[in-house]
Amino acid sequence: MPQYQELPCGGQVLDIDAALKDGILGCGPEPGDGALGDGGKQPVELRKMMDELDAAGDGGGDEVVPAVFICPISLEPMVDPVTLCTGQTYERANISRWLALGHRTCPTTMQELWDDALTPNATLRQLIAAWFSRRYTRFKKRSADYHGRAADLVHGLRGTAVPRRQPLKGQARVAALRELRSLASNHQSVTKAIAEAGGVSLLTSLLGPFTSHSVGSEAVAILVSGVPLDADAKAALMQPAKVSLVVDMLNEGAVDTKINCVRLIRILMEEKGFRPETVASLSLLAGSMRLVRDKRHQDGVAAGLELLNSICAVHRPARSMIVSIGAVQQLVELLPELATECVEPALDILDALASVPEGMTALKDCPRTIPNAVRLLMRVSEACTQRALSMLWVVCRMVPEESAPAALEVGLAAKLLLVIQSGCGPELKQQASELLKLCTMHCTSTVFLAKCKLTKTIQ
């Protein structure tokens, strides 16, 4: 098919439909697609289409957005392309901002502009609209298929399918839940369809004392995939029998199941009607700590730390229980091996545990508290330095005659001087000064200066 149509005056104009169908822009039609001007198509604003495709992670489908559609300034697809006198095309808002800043050159070629007029590029705008319209149509068709399939699965599990049948049981139930979980995790918009079909009440009802872990793990995975949970659903999930099942799966399930159980508990903790005593369970705390210790799965480490940190914040009595399962020594020993983003929540937990007598004693008795805390000073962030100083302060005040020399031996004095001379906040500097003063009271001046690693001139 010719991609250009002859005009009476002898010129040519690009036939957009033909160009797209012949694939010159890498986006040929799929079976079932209508022509660009089909009367059945609903007009959708180009920007709205792009935003919806981006939100769904389907900005270009399986194909790359043609480079000619990309603005050289923002590197994003253009909605209102305009052309400069140099022949280069830009998004109107971006090039207008460039000119408003006083630039009189073309951003791409750096040629001086002899004319700052912006000429609308109508042909390119039509091509962009046509390309994204086709992608949008296909995206909507796929979404409708996914939504319909999700609704069918929910009705099959509930026994409300047409024609009416008994609810799915046994392996058929597990298979349906697994497919529903896959749809929800791969297509975020499906979660709304699940809720509209009554999926939330169904999934909540599946969790109970007689639920198998194969069913429970799939139900929990769907519940934490983004399905909207209202106050009633969260209240139902906080029933003791349901929480007990979630805790059992946290201790005995696969790693992914454990992570999902932790996420579900955190979702419930955010509800206003949450009862803190719900998390006052040694089994729950031990399961979370076991997840933190499994260094093979960083997502699990982060999820476990976040849950323990939240529990310490909302339920003070749980702090003593966390200490009783050996969390202080385990966390202290893990500090050097944790990923950077996990260090701060781990220190937050240790700081909370140090507020109870058992936690203070556990910090003092752990042989790695001082060296690991000193190593973290001025290493990760100011907040981490603050928490590490607090740990050192607790230990050194409890047994200064033992802890102060040990801390100086591993380089505390030099680190404290570095904190004092840094750009840290005044409270942190004051804390470092007080700890440095405490250390000087329990060693000779000669030893102190030697441990500071100062030169003779500075001494």
Q: Which of 349, 365, 381 is the last residue of a domain?
A: 365
pLDDT of residue 33: 43
Whether residue 380 sits in one domain with residue 356? no
In the sheet with 81-83, reading across from the earlier edge strand, the strands are: 89-91, 81-83, 119-120
- Contacts of residue 311, Cβ cutoff 8 Å, sequence gap at least 6: 269, 279, 285, 288, 318, 322
Asked whether residue 277 is assigned to any structural domain, the reply reads yes
pLDDT of residue 5: 45
Asked whether residue 12 is assigned to any structural domain, the reply reads no
Asked whether residue 43 is assigned to any structural domain, the reply reads no
pLDDT of residue 453: 55
**Helix orientation angle between 382-398 and 412-421, rounded to the nearest 10 degrees:** 130
Whether residue 297 sits in one domain with residue 165? yes
Question: Which residues of the chain fall below pLDDT 70?
Answer: 1-44, 55-63, 142-143, 161-164, 442-459
Task: Write down the mean pLDDT value for the chain.
Answer: 82
* Domain with 311 in it: 142-365
pLDDT of residue 201: 92
pLDDT in tens, 44-88: 488 888 877 776 555 444 568 888 999 999 999 899 999 999 899
Instruction: Report in angstroms the alpha-carbon separations of 396 from 201, 331, 387, 399, 437.
Output: 54, 19, 14, 6, 11
pLDDT in tens, 19-45: 544 444 444 444 444 334 443 333 348
pLDDT in tens, 321-364: 999 999 999 999 999 988 888 999 999 999 999 999 999 999 98
Whether residue 178 sits in one domain with residue 96? no
Whether residue 403 sits in one domain with residue 321? no
Q: What is the pTM of this model?
A: 0.67
Asked whether residue 9 is assigned to any structural domain, the reply reads no
Instruction: Report in angstroms the alpha-carbon separations of 240 from 123, 236, 247.
Output: 64, 9, 10
pLDDT of residue 255: 93
Asked whether residue 37 is assigned to any structural domain, the reply reads no
pLDDT of residue 459: 41
